[in-house]
């Protein structure tokens, strides 16, 4: 695993691991209304099935000395306007990473992997067919 970014300090080095940047990005993305969940693919699904919550699920970061690029894989809620959700995610993730780490975020790429449908409608449909 990459050590992440090292910040010089009078008292010693400060290291920010790539995993930390991933967690910040994932949490910032899920704060946006319309984001149902992050898409972790097969690996993320296996980790969840085993009871381990992966806070960086659906996030890929490339962290350099001064800059970071982020790829987010997410599931949007049905009825949400996807471009509006994606723009809000980009802005929130950029702001969160820059504020918390001091890195300059050059890219926040949003990959919509699916749409989440409300559970209530599924239950209503099942009852109507009985």
pLDDT string in tens for the chain (130-residue length):
455 666 667 777 777 899 999 999 999 999 999 999 998 765 444 445 444 467 788 999 999 888 999 999 999 999 999 999 999 999 999 999 999 999 999 999 999 999 999 885 555 555 555 5
Angle of helix 82-101 relative to helix 18-30, nearest 10 degrees? 140
CATH number at residue 16: 3.30.70.1350
Contact indicator for 19, 56 with CB cutoff of 8 Å: yes
Distance CA 109, CA 60 (A): 10
- Give the count of domains, the chain: 1
Contact indicator for 85, 78 with CB cutoff of 8 Å: no
Segments forming the whole domain that contains residue 51: 5-129
Predicted confidence at residue 75, as pLDDT, reads: 94
Distance CA 57, CA 41 (A): 9
Reported pTM: 0.78
């Amino acid at each position: 695993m990459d050590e992440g970014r090292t910040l010089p300090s009078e008292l010693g080095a400060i290291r920010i691991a790539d995993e930390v940047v991933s967690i910040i990005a994932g949490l910032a993305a899920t704060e946006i209304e319309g984001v149902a969940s992050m898409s972790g693919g097969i690996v993320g699904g296996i980790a969840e099935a085993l009871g381990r919550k992966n806070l960086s699920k659906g996030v890929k970061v490339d962290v350099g000395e001064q800059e970071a690029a982020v790829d987010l894989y997410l599931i949007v809620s049905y009825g949400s306007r996807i471009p509006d959700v994606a723009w809000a995610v980009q802005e929130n993730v950029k702001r969160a990473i820059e504020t918390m780490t001091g890195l300059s975020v050059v890219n926040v790429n949003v990959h919509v992997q699916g749409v989440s449908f409300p559970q209530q409608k599924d239950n209503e449909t099942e009852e109507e067919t009985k």
